[in-house]
């Protein structure tokens, strides 16, 4: 398996522009997570999905952020409009909850977002 | 609510020396505990995990961790550090019935020759 795939790997944009980050989870996984990592706040969970349904979006910072998972193999995280304080590395992770056991999350390589 | 504390922001060790990274958790029931490693420019990779049973857990790359309920700790250890171990290490806790994790702030490991 290719692992979790994220695109783009790097994104530089100007304040006010719309940014869309993409994620392809590992095939067969039923959970998908979006994280944001900054020096100041560390690794923060933004939102996660189970079977394409958003379960907890309490970590989404504000209405400018939205996430969708239209099918089991694709998810997007959108920021509109973007602001300089959104600059961070955004990670997508997926996992499979099987037999009630708690399984590891597999992380993608991340998207480094810079908002000028 | 569950939380994780990694008291050491940055640790420097000599190659070949032993290593211990500290992790303390706060959770009312039996926690699910994880250690992840993040190399520069990479995503996080699981080193090891603890759910139940033997409190000494072996992981990849020669790492181990010991769960101590009385101290609410899950410290990561390695007997002999290699230069390639330089990275950021994250402790995380999860709770049963949910699949989300709470991560500590990380400990950056520098290895000197």
Residue B28, pLDDT > 90, answer no
**Interface contact A94, partner B, CB < 8 A:** no
Residues in chain A where the model's pLDDT stays below 70: 1, 98-103
- Reading the block at residue A50, the tokens are 């189970």
- The confidence band for B9, taking pLDDT boundaries of 50, 70 and 90, is very high
Burial (Cβ within 10 Å: 0-12, 13-18, ≥19) of residue A21: buried
3-state secondary structure A40-78: CCEEEEEEEEECCEEEECCCCCCCCEEEEEEECCEEEEE
Beta bridge partners of A12: A114
pLDDT in tens, B49-100: 998 888 899 999 999 999 999 999 999 999 999 999 999 999 998 865 566 7
Note the residue count of chain B. Answer: 113
Which whole number is the average pLDDT over B30-50? 90
**Smallest Cα distance from A55 to chain B, Å:** 10
Q: In degrees rounded to 5, what are phi and psi of residue B85?
A: -80, -10
Gap between the Cα atoms of B4 and A76, Å rounded: 28
Instruction: Report strand pairing: A19-24 vs A74-79.
Output: antiparallel
Give B112's strand partners: B14
The pLDDT score that the predictor gives to residue B46 is 93
How far does the CA of residue A56 sit from the closest CA of chain B (Å)? 9
Report the alpha-carbon distance of residue B7 to residue A99 in Å, rounded.
34
């Amino acid at each position: 398996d290719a692992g979790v795939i994220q695109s783009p790997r790097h994104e530089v944009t100007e304040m006010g522009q719309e940014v869309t980050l993409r994620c392809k989870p590992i095939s067969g996984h039923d959970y998908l997570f979006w994280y944001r990592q900054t020096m100041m706040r560390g690794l923060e969970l933004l939102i996660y999905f189970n079977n394409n349904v958003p379960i907890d979006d309490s970590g989404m910072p504000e209405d400018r952020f939205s996430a969708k998972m239209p099918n089991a193999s694709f998810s997007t995280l959108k920021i509109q409009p973007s602001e300089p304080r959104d600059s961070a590395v955004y990670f997508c992770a997926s996992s499979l909850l099987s037999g009630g056991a708690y399984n590891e999350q597999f992380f993608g390589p991340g998207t480094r977002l810079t908002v000028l | 609510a569950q939380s994780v504390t990694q008291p050491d922001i940055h640790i420097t060790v000599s190659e070949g020396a032993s290593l211990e990274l500290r992790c303390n958790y706060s959770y009312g029931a039996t926690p699910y505990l994880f250690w992840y490693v993040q190399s520069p420019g990479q995503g996080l990779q699981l080193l090891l995990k603890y759910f139940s049973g033997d409190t000494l857990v072996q992981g990849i790359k020669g790492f181990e961790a010991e769960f101590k309920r009385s101290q609410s700790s899950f410290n990561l250890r390695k007997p002999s550090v290699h230069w390639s171990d330089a990275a950021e290490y994250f402790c995380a806790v999860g709770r049963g019935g949910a699949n989300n994790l709470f991560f500590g702030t990380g400990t950056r490991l520098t290895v000197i020759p």
